Amino acid sequence: MTGTPLLSVRDLRTYFHTFSGVVKAVNGVSFDIGAGEVMGLVGESGGGKSVVGFSILGLIDPPGRIEGGAILLDGIDLVGATEDRLRDVRGCDISMVFQDPMTSLNPLHTVGRQMDEMLRLHTDLDAHARKRACIHMLESVGISRAAERLGAYPHQFSGGMRQRVVIAIALLAGPRLIIADEPTTALDVTIQSQILKLMRRQIAERGASMILITHDLAVVSEMADHITVLYCGKVVERGLTRDVIRRPAHPYTRGLIDSIPNPHDRQKRLRQIPGSVPDIRNLPTGCNFHERCPRAQTICATAEPELAPQRDGLHAACHFPLMEGEPA
Amino acid sequence: MTAMLEVRDLEQKFPIGGGIIDRLRFDKGRLRIENKVVHAVNGVSFSIAKGEVMALVGESGCGKSTVAKTIARIYKPTSGEIRVDGQDIAALAPREMLPVRAKMQMIFQDPFASLNPRQKVRDIVAEPLLEQTMGRAAKSEVADLTLALLARVGLNAEHAGRYPHQFSGGQRQRIGIARALSVNPGLIIADEPVSALDVSIQAQILNLMMDLKDEFGLAYLFISHDLSVVHHIADRVGVMYLGFMVENAPRDTLFAAPRHPYTRALLSAAPSIEDKRGVAEIELTGEVPSALSLPSGCCFRTRCPFAWGRCATERPALQSVGDHHTVACHLIDEPQRDRT
């Protein structure tokens, strides 16, 4: 990465003010994405990964609020930007692919109209050119008879085809960053592999960057250049994909990887992380992970570890990071 | 020894209604009302020995959950035999199913929908037992057993008086497991028991299920779409596609040397954190055809990279290709057409 990164998130804090307390869904998250990079944002439910994605696009509604931090696109802060400015950013600079292709398209409008909207808002093309662009885009995401399909409604497409349409819409205005929130979780494995290949190719051809939000470490390890692991709204580890997957420094990352059954190293019992994710309104003192951590010492319950450089260029927030190859 | 479960030529077809206008068709100059049928399961056979874990894998719509629910007799099969511990239950009336349910219990996918929100945990767990004994069991005995079961699945006495909404997804799945165990069954049908759970919780539940299997000598019919989970837990794997069993093999054989093109595609498509070593990649195009009108011949031919004329005319039967390994594919007869 050279010069200014495309997107730089600094100490982002997004809180939800509910009747039962303040939910600190994202609590001091920082990362950078350079042009052409794919970053995987992983973690379990409640980790705050989707809220990071929504925060970047300014899609946090009350009772949620971005309490602090900065989201710098080309060095210009999006936090506190006007709605007009954000509308220019959405679709044009940054676009989003949502998890559920069943609900992210409007069932009352044809696919063509929903695609056209993107170009009408973000380009000066005339109707004819817009239609040509839509047909071309549908073809490039692998939908045959594209000209006819423009007149079809979302319910006339299968799940995999709908997700292709959603991706086509996301790519139409030529965004430089795509935020994909669990783009293949709702799809079958053979369709998933088609969609992932499609996304990888489209991103590489356009030189765009991507934030891939997922709970699936296997998907991330096949797609991402580097990985950021979230736990209870905080970054616990980040580094190059290969290093994070092969030799993580944080016990939580290690636990996640070990929880996946490994066909090459079949054991009678899976190594499991004990307990479950704590209630985010009522987090433990010190390190959020210490109650589930096999390495926890007294300091872990009192002092919160900072994200600090570790071996192999990894960053981890842990008082007792793992040595290379050491089990959790 | 009789198998714990033996399924033969199981078929399950669901007529779909819809308005009469939608079903009207012109046929040779006459107006007809068409009966549409979903061919969910089309002649599936397999058996599970006592203490064995059989997994059914496949993509959504392949009929694996329908097989599970039909065996549990939530559905009545269209035809075929279902033998539980030797007894054919395919045609039993609901009331006659009661003694069978003491041998066979089910764990469901969604731990949020499968527990009654208005019952306390102790009542949920005790219900199958009370049902079996027609409510004549001694209260104190049932209470003791309930607590013992909860303890066995990792919950404690304090949890017994709570309601389902007070538990996390993983804990609810534990309650579902305790309920299934309460009548001491020999067979547990588990329909995607871990797919709604986070990966760290998934490992806990899989470990628990494996421990219980050893302790109680359970056989599982394990339905899953996740191949890494199946590889971990199963002794034997059946691969389903569009309501047909296309391949059935012992786990190690299936993962090391899959024969059916669909199985091979499924294995190569599954993302993995490991480097994929020596997996010949078969990439599928297109999507699963509708179960309303099955393709002629082989069910997989519309997506199969090797399909030729014979596949459209002749439906391949399951044939043996080795030790307990059966495959339904014409490539077995004509291996020269396999171009990988």
For A268-320, how does the pLDDT look when each residue is reduced to its tens digit (9 = 90+)? 778 888 888 888 888 888 899 999 998 888 999 998 998 989 888 899 999 99
- Distances in Å between the Cα of A240 and the Cα atoms of A195, A221, B96 are 23, 10, 60
Q: Do B199 and A215 touch (CB under 8 A)?
A: yes
pLDDT at B119: 93
Q: Do A264 and B200 touch (CB under 8 A)?
A: no
Instruction: Note whether A216 contacts B: Cβ–Cβ < 8 A.
Output: yes
Q: How far is A217 from chain B (nearest CA, A)?
A: 7
Q: How far apart are CA A41 and CA B166, in angstroms?
A: 29
pLDDT at B243: 93
> Which of A156, A276, A280 is most worth mutating to test chain B (most B CB atoms within 10 A of its CB)?
A276
Q: Do B207 and A270 touch (CB under 8 A)?
A: yes
DSSP string covering A247-267: S-SSHHHHHHHHHS--TTS--
pLDDT at B1: 66
Higher pLDDT, A187 or B207: B207
Joined tokens for residue B139: 């209260």
Instruction: Note whether A282 contacts B: Cβ–Cβ < 8 A.
Output: no
Q: Do A190 and B269 touch (CB under 8 A)?
A: yes
Q: Which residues of B touch A197 (CB under 8 A)?
A: 283
Q: How far is B233 from chain A (nearest CA, A)?
A: 9
Give the whole-number percent of chain A exceeding pLDDT 70. Answer: 96
Name the 3-class secondary structure at A319: coil
What confidence tens digit (pLDDT) does each residue in B44-79 have? 999 999 999 999 999 888 899 999 999 999 999 999
pLDDT at B293: 84
| Long-range contacts, stretch A315-319, CB < 8 angstroms, 24+ apart | A315/A235, A315/A237, A315/A238, A315/A239, A316/A236, A316/A237, A316/A238, A316/A248, A316/A249, A316/A250, A316/A253, A317/A234, A317/A235, A317/A236, A317/A237, A317/A250, A317/A287, A318/A236, A318/A249, A318/A250, A318/A251, A318/A287, A319/A287
The answer to whether residue B118 scores a pLDDT higher than 60 is yes
Q: Do B200 and A44 touch (CB under 8 A)?
A: yes
Q: How far apart are CA A143 and CA A145, in angstroms?
A: 7
Going A81 to A83 to A86 to A92, the CA torsion angle's sign is negative
pLDDT at B280: 60
The answer to whether residue A39 scores a pLDDT higher than 90 is yes
Q: Which one of B60, B200, B229 has the shortest CB-CB distance to A256?
A: B200
Instruction: Note whether B168 contacts A: Cβ–Cβ < 8 A.
Output: yes
Q: Which residues of B touch A274 (CB under 8 A)?
A: 204
Q: How far is B92 from chain A (nearest CA, A)?
A: 35
The answer to whether residue B257 scores a pLDDT higher than 50 is yes
pTM for the whole thing? 0.85
The answer to whether residue A119 scores a pLDDT higher than 50 is yes
Q: Which residues of A touch B284 (CB under 8 A)?
A: 190, 194
pLDDT at A231: 93
Residues B201 and A276 sit within 8 Å (Cβ to Cβ): yes
A188: closest chain B residue by CA: B59
pLDDT at B275: 63
> Which of A49, A185, A259, A277 is most worth mutating to test chain B (most B CB atoms within 10 A of its CB)?
A259
Q: Which residues of A touch B55 (CB under 8 A)?
A: none
Instruction: Note whether B170 contacts A: Cβ–Cβ < 8 A.
Output: yes
In B17-140, beta strands by DSSP E? 24-27, 30-33, 36-48, 53-57, 79-84, 87-88, 104-107
Mean pLDDT of B84-97: 91
pLDDT at B276: 58
Helical ranges in chain B per DSSP H:
20-23, 64-71, 98-101, 121-132, 139-152, 169-181, 199-216, 227-233, 251-256, 261-269, 309-313
Categorize the per-residue pLDDT at A328 as very low, low, confident or very high, splitting at 50, 70 and 90.
low
Residues B79 and B162 sit within 8 Å (Cβ to Cβ): no
The answer to whether residue B33 scores a pLDDT higher than 90 is no
Mean pLDDT of A249-264: 86
Helical ranges in chain A per DSSP H:
49-56, 83-92, 111-122, 127-140, 146-149, 159-172, 189-206, 217-223, 241-246, 251-259, 298-302
Instruction: Note whether A241 contacts B: Cβ–Cβ < 8 A.
Output: no
Is residue B34 packed enough to be buried (19+ CB in 10 Å), middle (13-18) or exposed (0-12)? Answer: exposed
Mean pLDDT of A236-248: 92
A186: closest chain B residue by CA: B60
Give the whole-number percent of chain B exceeding pLDDT 70. Answer: 97
Q: How far apart are CA A290 and CA A67, in angstroms?
A: 26
Q: How many CA atoms lie within 13 A of B116 on its CB side?
A: 11
Q: Do B266 and A189 touch (CB under 8 A)?
A: yes
Categorize the per-residue pLDDT at B259 as very low, low, confident or very high, splitting at 50, 70 and 90.
very high
Number of H helices, E strands in chain B: 11, 14
Residues B175 and B166 sit within 8 Å (Cβ to Cβ): no
Size of interface A-B (CB pairs under 8 A): 107
Mean pLDDT of A65-73: 92
Name the 3-class secondary structure at B327: strand
The answer to whether residue A211 scores a pLDDT higher than 90 is yes
Average pLDDT along chain B: 89
Residues A174 and A118 sit within 8 Å (Cβ to Cβ): no
The answer to whether residue B279 scores a pLDDT higher than 60 is no
Average pLDDT along chain A: 88
Instruction: Note whether B273 contacts A: Cβ–Cβ < 8 A.
Output: yes
Q: Using alpha carbons only, how large is chain B's radius of gyration in Å?
A: 22
B264: closest chain A residue by CA: A190
Instruction: Note whether B111 contacts A: Cβ–Cβ < 8 A.
Output: no
Q: Do A217 and B273 touch (CB under 8 A)?
A: yes
Range in A145-149, B41-45, B177-181 the model is least confident about: A145-149
Q: How far apart are CA A172 and CA A252, in angstroms?
A: 38
Mean pLDDT of A109-134: 92
Instruction: Note whether B279 contacts A: Cβ–Cβ < 8 A.
Output: no
Instruction: Note whether B173 contacts A: Cβ–Cβ < 8 A.
Output: no
Q: How far is B261 from chain A (nearest CA, A)?
A: 12
Q: How many CA atoms lie within 13 A of B319 on its CB side?
A: 10
- Which ipTM score applies to this complex? 0.79
pLDDT at B340: 66
pLDDT at A267: 65
What confidence tens digit (pLDDT) does each residue in B75-89 have? 999 999 999 999 999
> Which of B171, B198, B202, B292 is most worth mutating to test chain A (most A CB atoms within 10 A of its CB)?
B198
Which residues touch A103 (CB under 8 Å, ≥6 apart)?
none
Q: How far apart are CA B164 and CA B118, in angstroms?
A: 8
Number of H helices, E strands in chain A: 11, 12
Residues B54 and B220 sit within 8 Å (Cβ to Cβ): yes
The answer to whether residue B295 scores a pLDDT higher than 60 is yes
Mean pLDDT of B206-216: 92
Q: Do A255 and B284 touch (CB under 8 A)?
A: no
The answer to whether residue A114 scores a pLDDT higher than 90 is yes
pLDDT at A45: 83
Q: Which residues of A touch B229 (CB under 8 A)?
A: 261
In chain B, residues 49-88 whose CB comes closer than 8 Å to chain A = 59-60
Going A139 to A144 to A149 to A155, the CA torsion angle's sign is negative
pLDDT at A188: 82
A254: closest chain B residue by CA: B200
The answer to whether residue A51 scores a pLDDT higher than 50 is yes
Residues B256 and B325 sit within 8 Å (Cβ to Cβ): no
B272: closest chain A residue by CA: A218
Instruction: Note whether B283 contacts A: Cβ–Cβ < 8 A.
Output: yes
Q: Which one of A189, A197, A271 has the shortest CB-CB distance to B59?
A: A189
Q: Which one of B200, B231, B273 has the shortest CB-CB distance to A245?
A: B273
Instruction: Note whether A224 contacts B: Cβ–Cβ < 8 A.
Output: no
pLDDT at B73: 93
If one counts every other C-beta atom within 10 angstroms of the C-beta of residue B22, the result is 12
Q: Do B231 and A190 touch (CB under 8 A)?
A: no
Range in B174-178, B207-211, B254-258, B333-337 the model is least confident about: B333-337
pLDDT at A1: 46
Residues B53 and B213 sit within 8 Å (Cβ to Cβ): yes
Instruction: Note whether B198 contacts A: Cβ–Cβ < 8 A.
Output: yes
pLDDT at A197: 87
Q: Which residues of B touch A271 (CB under 8 A)?
A: 203
Instruction: Note whether A141 contacts B: Cβ–Cβ < 8 A.
Output: no
pLDDT at B272: 81
The answer to whether residue A63 scores a pLDDT higher than 80 is yes
